[in-house]
Amino acid sequence: MRNFFEKKEINLSNNFKSKGYIISKVQDIKSLNYIKEITLNNLKKILKLKKSHEINLNNFHKMIDQESLNDVRVNLINLNNKDDNFRYHYFKTAKDLIYILAGNELMMQKSVNLSIQFPNDKSSLLPVHSDVWSGDSPFEINLWLPLVDCYRTKSMYILEEKDNDQFVKYMKKTKLNSSDEIYQRIRKKVKWLNVKYGEFLLFNQSLPHGNIVNKERETRFSMNCRFKSIYSPYGDKKMGEFFLPITARAMTEIGIDYKFPFKE
């Protein structure tokens, strides 16, 4: 069956399907600046610092102790998402590619998540997992946005599509009882993703991914948020509860509101 995509869209889609992810430059630098500025200002509020105080996110582990980290992270997530324009600017950093890969009538996660991982911190680990294994829809795409350069163990890993096919076949024949057993099985195959500040990562969250102890000398600051087509199937996370529509088109709204003129 013939599709009507442009060549650029076809190449981008094929690349995404073959690898399971795309790393690209942020498409609206003003939106990235907005996100970082809001985050830094909210951090200053939480830590009760003067507005003029400069915060180096790479060295954030030198500003607070590890015991305070989760409280700071949760408060920062809440403050960021209270800003009316925060999610809008988050979407704009990768809008065009999300349209190509997920559709242009979209749902967006209600809250943008934040990960902060100190060097040698064992309390902020995300063991190998696939979001679909725990009830997410395979129709969702994840936009991962770093506020610092992320590389090696300061970043995340993913099992590419070509290697995941072999892993799935293995899993169907062999029982692995823990995430550690799964990681040991795939650790030589996973791809560590280097994503610089000013870039974003879009990835297929159904592929196994995660992180390990950050063995670099800097703190990782990264955000993530899921998008999906409005009318694609949902998992456990539903419209209104977890997702909100952000780009419903005119005919969709007209169709939803249509009232049949004749008596039933």
Q: What is the longest distance spanned by two Cα atoms in the chain?
A: 71
Q: Region 159-168: what's the mean pLDDT? A: 92
| Least trusted range by pLDDT, from 91-100, 150-159, 164-173 | 164-173
pLDDT score at 186: 93
Strand partners, 158: 191, 209
Domain coordinates of the chain in residue numbers?
7-231+241-248
| H or E stretch covering 116 | strand 113-117
pLDDT confidence of residue 171: 84
**Arithmetic mean of pLDDT over the chain:** 95
Q: If residue 71 lies in a helix (H) or strand (E), which one and from where to where?
A: helix 69-82
Q: What DSSP state is assigned to residue 234?
A: P
Does pLDDT of 79 surpass 90?
yes
Is residue 263 predicted with pLDDT exceeding 80?
no
Cα 178 off chain centre by: 24
Strands 113-117 and 106-109: unpaired
7-231+241-248: what CATH class? mainly beta
| Residue 66 confidence (pLDDT) above 80 | yes
The reported pLDDT for the residue numbered 2 is: 79
Instruction: Give Cβ neighbours of residue 80 (< 8 Å, ≥ 6 apart).
Output: 38, 39, 42, 86, 112, 114
